[in-house]
A and B are shown apart, each in its own frame.
Chain A
Amino acid sequence: MYPAQFDYRRAGSVTEALSLLQENEDAKLMAGGHSLIPMMKLRLAQPPVVIDIGRLDELKGISEAGGSVRVGSLTTHADIAASDVLAAHCPVLAEAAGHIGDAQVRNRGTIGGNIAHADPGSDIPPVLVLLGASVHLQSPSGTRSVAAGDFFQDLLMTDVGEDEILTHVEAPALGAGTGAAYLKFEHPASGYAVVGAAASVTVQNGRCTGAGLVVGGVSATPTAVDVSSLVGTDLSDDAIAAAASGLDAEDPIGDIFASGDYRVHVGKVYGKRALAAARDRA
């Protein structure tokens, strides 16, 4: 299976990549290629020009400063899953990255490529929305950031503009007393999430002071669940189950493997389990 013909350009810097984007109409950026190459082989994408940004070291790496973690867009899932910085400050992001595909896919796939592709079965988007992360973009006219919750717009559609490059994501580090977890019901063949649930809870003196739950795979974009009923409770199993059952999707996605109703049901079950796991880590 071959992609259709295309011209290949390799960018030596973000600035060069931005000008190549401007010069070549309908060009696509390629990071690790693990979303784009499969799309091109199936001819779902036929860009006339591919701009390879895979070697831009300035877009790689993980760091922590001032209570937030920063992950460069070209950082591989393998590096995120194995990151000591994330293990210390934001382990749920590393946990989700470790669930992606398999070892070979994690060695090539990048966080920037993953979220720019915006597959509803992807593991990273619900975690970024849960964390209240920001996605940072650069264009010839400057830089801007967008909240993860606004970044994912629809099936395979994001807020990235035609002249923009996704440079990094930033997420608040998890504070003391906060636990978070990502649990996934995995499609046995593709490795994508049929449903993935990202949850966090904060506990002080045995009482919940904050909770969040975001479920992927149920809708075209990550679905946030209102679990504010947990605040003030002792996070009993019953309270958690009641909160997770609030998952509602107006237009759930269904396919040959899992109907929309089934996904919503599994989302509630995995939401409950993810909240319980987050509680046990808080």
Chain B
Amino acid sequence: MTVSIQLEVNGKPVQAAVEPRRLLVHFLREDLGLTGANIGCETSLCGACTVLVDGNAVKSCTMLAAQADGASVTTIEGLARNGELHPLQEGFWEKHGLQCGYCTPGMILSANYLLAQNPSPNDEEIREGLKGNICRCTGYHNIVEAVKYAAERMS
């Protein structure tokens, strides 16, 4: 069977028929070509697949595309505006918040959710907010700096 879904992805309406078992991350990557959400652990632990669903950070490897019917989804591809990087993207660049970059889209969307809840988090709150995102390169220090940079720019 297939399920008809209608949703908004990065501000654009999307209509599709998906298999019930289609995971949101596969729908985004393979059906829509939005490969920013990465597939890491596939067990809801690493956070590389994090996207925003109706403004909430979620792990798109643990959500059916069918569950996203009617929702508004934001991926890393939807953050820049008119060619201008989002302050979080700029912060990760300026503060060397990434090395290999695999975790970065998920990190940035989790940080985006964190800053929406708490516009000026301290270091501890940033680390707690990003607990669901694993980075194996940076040691996290510069990621925290990048989020602080963005928080200042966005205030």
Contact = CB atoms under 8 A, between A and B. Distances in A.
Interface of A: 1-8, 10, 30, 33-34, 37-38, 40-41, 50, 52, 54, 78, 101-105, 107-108, 189-191
Nearest to A108: B58
The 9 A-B pairs of least Cβ separation, nearest first, read A102-B132, A8-B20, A107-B56, A102-B131, A1-B42, A3-B21, A104-B132, A104-B59, A104-B57
Contact of A108 (B21, B26, B62): B62
Contact of A37 (B1, B45, B63, B114): B63
Given A5-B20, A5-B21, A38-B43, A107 B67 contact: no
B80 interface: no
B64 A33 contact: yes
B45 A189 contact: yes
B contact patch SS = mixed
Interface string B86-121: 000000000000000000000000100110000000
Contacts of A33: 62-64, 67
Contacts of A104: 44, 47, 50, 57-59, 110, 132
Given A7-B20, A40-B21, 8 more contacts: A5-B21, A8-B1, A30-B67, A38-B44, A103-B57, A103-B114, A103-B131, A104-B44
B137 interface: no
Nearest to A98: B128
A2 B20 contact: no
Q: For chain B, which range describes its interface: under 10, 10 to 19, 20 to 34, or 35 or more residues?
A: 20 to 34
13 contacts: A2-B23, A5-B19, A6-B21, A37-B64, A38-B43, A38-B44, A41-B43, A52-B64, A101-B44, A103-B110, A103-B129, A104-B44, A107-B56
Given A8-B1, A102-B131, A41 B67 contact: no
Given A8-B3, A8-B64, A37-B64, A105 B44 contact: yes
B66 A52 contact: yes
Nearest to B39: A1
Contact of B20 (A6, A38, A107, A108): A6
